[in-house]
Amino acid sequence: SPIIIWLRRDLRLSDHPALTAACQSGRPVIPLFIHDEQSEALGAAPKFRLGLALECLSETLEDKGSRLILRREGDALKVLRDVIEETGAGAVYWSRLYDPAAKDRDSRIKEALKDDGIDACSYSGHLMFGPWTVETKTGGYYKVFTPYWKSVRGRDVAEPLSTPSNISTPKSWPKSDSLDDWAMDAEMQRGRDVVRPFARVGAAAAQSRLGAFMANIVEDYDDSRDRPGEDGTSAMSEHLTYGEITPMQCWHAGQRAMQEGKRGAETFLKELAWREFAYHLMHHSPRIVDKNWREEWDAFPWNEDERRAEVLAWKQGRTGVPFVDAAMRELQVTGRMHNRGRMIVASYLTKHLMCHWRIGQKWFEEHLIDWDPANNAMGWQWAAGSGPDASPFFRVFNPETQLDRFDKDGDYTRRWIAEGRTNPSEDALAYFEAIPQSWKMSPDDDYPDPIVDLSEGRERALDAYRNREF
């Protein structure tokens, strides 16, 4: 009887333990994606990017003589049961996910399918290290990155599996929706035509970018990864989050580069471990996703009103602080933001504006095509000071000195800010195509004065911190 491969964030054919196991069994394989309440709940940009990933995977499967079956229903279990009934499938395999909502859904479904007499099996594939396999000496979990890194850096990481040579097809295919009917880009008001050219989509694109990164960029990655005006990072995040590439594939490519003496390769491996660490934290302490990880921060006088003019200015990239504004505009146009930008805008929102990190977390969740539940939550709690291994609240980034250090020649701000320039760049102008008309912004406007004086904002935050009641 056929095996259903229930695809979620594993939209590739290589290094796919669940798919490989199914193919090795010699039984017919039915690749299935279910647009259930969890994928429906994605923010506009992640949903849009997911649609692109599905389109690409569907073509790849067709090239191999197989198909991607698409079904839409709030409840994934109902779809699985329907497809089992339609095809006589006897097994469902999937790659394990680790966010609290997916874990709940998957364990409920596993039990129900087992009760139905179906072989329900989950496989690894999204992470290098099962979050429960990394333990401190006393048997707890790690809350600080450096010791976590020390404990995993020497581990053997599974060699990536190759693409199955043959994916057996069932005698008859179950019915499938059309991806166009799902309109995954419907909520992407902000110029899908603007964002689309910046997305690299699919497993082949991921592998080719990884190759180019290892050939040309990783050598200088220790420095280039901090310069937002350069193409100096791997850009693997949008592929990793949809599983178009695996961390194992990235890790082994990094190991090879290290053996070839490429300087930045170890730092790259360390960054991959940050992603693992984020999942480790989320697995052991799911509250990191939506609550102050350090509960005492509940008593901090965060501004929680999203309608404040300052919050809108932050979202619009109109704070009058060039580093912040450049990064927020990069987000609108490309659906991504350089890591240094993420750190700066998060620090500015939570400290200079003293807004609750949840406001920024939600904005990113809506706008990032590389949105990742664990990385985003950890990143925001790190910036706000409320996370386990957080930057201390009193360490407030100064966006001006950061700009002097990391964008000396002004490449980044020139690329993203049009106002006040005689020849604005194409990307700076594209921003005005990507934003809602209701923002009433024009490249001919004057560039705004800072909405908050940087040193006053800093002092206000530090005062609140000194006077906190915990």
Q: Which residues bind ligand FAD (CB under 6 A)?
A: 225, 233-237, 240-241, 271-272, 274-275, 278, 339, 342-343, 346, 364, 368, 370-372, 375-376, 379-380, 383
Ranked by CB distance to ligand FAD, the top (closest) residue is 379
Nearer to ligand FAD, 310 or 370 (CB): 370
Residue 165 labeled ligand binder: no
Give yes or no for a contact between 4 and 32, defined as CB atoms under 8 angstroms apart.
yes
Cβ at position 285, least distance to ligand FAD in Å: 16
Q: Which is nearer to ligand FAD, 316 or 376 (CB)?
A: 376
Buried b (16+ CB within 10 A) or exposed e, 159-198: ebbebbeebbebeeebeeeebeebebbeebebbbebbbeb
236 is in an annotated binding site: yes
CA–CA gap between residue 419 and residue 444 (Å, rounded): 6
- Name every residue whose Cβ is closer than 8 Å to that of residue 370 and which is 6 or more positions away in sequence: 49, 237, 238, 240, 241, 335, 336
Q: Are 119 and 91 in contact (CB under 8 A)?
A: yes
178 belongs to an annotated ligand binding site = no
User: Was 235 annotated as part of a binding site?
Assistant: yes
Q: Closest Cα partner for 340 from 352, 327, 353? A: 327
What is the nearest approach in angstroms of ligand FAD to the Cβ of residue 379? 2
Q: How far apart are CA 330 and CA 436, in angstroms?
A: 15
Is 409 annotated for ligand binding?
A: no
Which C-beta is closer to ligand FAD: that of 302 or that of 364? 364
Contact 243, 10 (CB under 8 A): yes
**Nearer to ligand FAD (CB atom), residue 122 or residue 361:** 361
447 a known binding residue? no
Residue 240 CB, nearest distance to ligand FAD (Å)? 5
Q: Is 6 helix (H, G, I), strand (E, B) or coil?
A: strand
Nearest distance, CB of residue 410 and ligand FAD, angstroms: 21
95 has binding-site annotation: no
| Minimum distance of ligand FAD from residue 454's CB (angstroms) | 19
Question: Which of 36/372 has CB closer to ligand FAD?
Answer: 372
- Whole-Å CA distances, 176 to 2, 74, 86, 94, 182: 16, 16, 12, 19, 12
Q: Which residue, 169 or 339, has its beta carbon nearer to ligand FAD?
A: 339
Asked if residue 81 lies in contact with residue 218, where contact means CB atoms within 8 angstroms, the answer is: no
Task: Spell out the alpha helix ranges (H) of 93-136.
Answer: 100-115
Binding site as annotated, residues: 221, 233-237, 268, 370-372
Q: Which residues fall in the annotated binding site for FAD?
A: 221, 233-237, 268, 370-372
